[in-house]
Structure 1
C-alpha cells in the first residue's frame, strides 16, 4: 500500500513524523511551503484547510494529528501502538483531550484570550488552569498515558506536552518532565527529529 506524508518540518507535522517512524512502514514525504504549495492545488484537494500534516494511505486521506496517530496505529497493528479494543478507554480519552481542551486552551492563551466565568461554561476546556490540572493528573496516573505500555496516544499527548514545556505555553511541572523523560528517549522519536531537523537545515 502506498503511504504519502505531507508536512513542513517546522509544524505539527513533526507529530505525524514521529508516529510514522514508530509504525516503521515505508512512506514518501512531500514537504510543503507555508506561503505557496500548502495553500494551492494539488494540496488543497487533499486538505482544503491548507494545513499540515496529512497522509494519503492507499488513496485514503487522513488529516489532523490525533486522527493520523489513531489511524496509523490501526492500519499497522503489528507495531503494537494501540491497546486491545476492550482496553481503549484511556487511549481515546486522553488522545482527544489533548486534541481538544489542551489545544484549545493553549491556543487561546497564546492569543491572549481568557474566558470569563460565564464563558467558561461554553469553552470545552473551562479555563487554562483547570486544563493543566487535569493534564497533570492524567500523565501521572500511570507510566504512559493509557496505562503500562507506550501507545499512539503518547505520541500525540507527549508532543503537546513537549512543545508546551519547550515554548512556555505549559508550565514546566516535574510530572511533565518525568513523563517526557519516559517517552522522548524512544528511537523513533530521535529518528523523526533528525529527519525533520535535517530538512530545516537544508532549507536554510
Structure 2
C-alpha cells in the first residue's frame, strides 16, 4: 500500500509524476500548509512538518530524490532505475544538492560574493551548476542509460519548473531536454491530478 502526503503547490508534484510512472495504485492525502502539516499525527511521520512524504507498507520515505529513488528500486520491473547506478546516483544527488541549493539561493536574491564564498557554498554559482548540467545533457538525451529513468523525473521536474518560472538561465539544450520529457503520459496525468487540487481563486 502506497500513501502519498502532498500539497499541489509543493515539490510533491515531482513525486506525483514518479508515482504515475510506476503505474502502482496509491492513496493521496492532501495537507494544507499550516496546522495540518504540524499536527502531532503528521509530525510522527515527517518531523519537518512538510510535504511530500510517502508511506509504503509501513515504511516512511521523505525528500523528493529519496522517494523517487526508492520507488525506482521498489518496483524494478517498471524499468525506472538505471543500470548505470554511478551516473544515476551522481545526478540525483547533484539535483538534490548543488542544483536545489543554487536555485533556492538565487530565488532569495543571494549569490556568493567572490571565490571564497563560492567555495563555501559547495556549488560555486548558479551559472556553474547550470553549465554543468547543460554540458551533460548536450552529450546525453537523458540523465543515465541513454533512456528515461527516475533521475529524469527529478532533474527534469527541476528543469521544467526552472524554465517556466525563469529560476534557471534558459538555453537550447535544457529546452530540448524538457521537450523530450514534457509529453510523457504519466507527467501529464500527474499534472492533471495536481491541478485539480489547486485552490480555487475567487
**1:39-118 equivalent positions in 2, closer than 5 A:** 39-84=38-83, 87-116=84-113, 117-118=115-116
Which residue of the partner structure matches residue 168 of structure 1? 166
Q: Tell me the TM-score normalized by structure 1.
A: 0.95
SS at 2:82 equivalent: coil
Give me the whole-angstrom Cα distance separating, in 1, the residues matched to 2:42 and 2:5: 9
Give me the whole-angstrom Cα distance separating, in 1, the residues matched to 2:141 and 2:111: 32
Q: Tell me the TM-score normalized by structure 2.
A: 0.96
Deviation digits for residues 144-186 of structure 1, max 9, x if unmatched? 1113110000000000111111111112211111000111111
Where has structure 1 moved over 4 Å in runs of 4 or more? 201-204
Count of residue pairs brought into register by the alignment: 201
**1:176-195 equivalent positions in 2, closer than 5 A:** 176-195=174-193
SS at 2:112 equivalent: coil
Which residue of the partner structure matches residue 16 of structure 1? 15
Aligned-residue CA RMSD (Å): 1.3
Which residue of the partner structure matches residue 29 of structure 1? 28
Which residue of the partner structure matches residue 7 of structure 1? 6
The match for 1:197 among 190, 195, 198 is 195
Report deviation, 1:119: 1.3
Structure 2 unaligned residues grouped into runs of 5+ = none
Give me the whole-angstrom Cα distance separating, in 2, the residues matched to 1:192 and 1:203: 21
SS at 1:46 equivalent: coil
Structure 1 unaligned residues grouped into runs of 5+ = none
Report deviation, 1:201: 5.2
Give me the whole-angstrom Cα distance separating, in 2, the residues matched to 1:6 and 1:41: 15
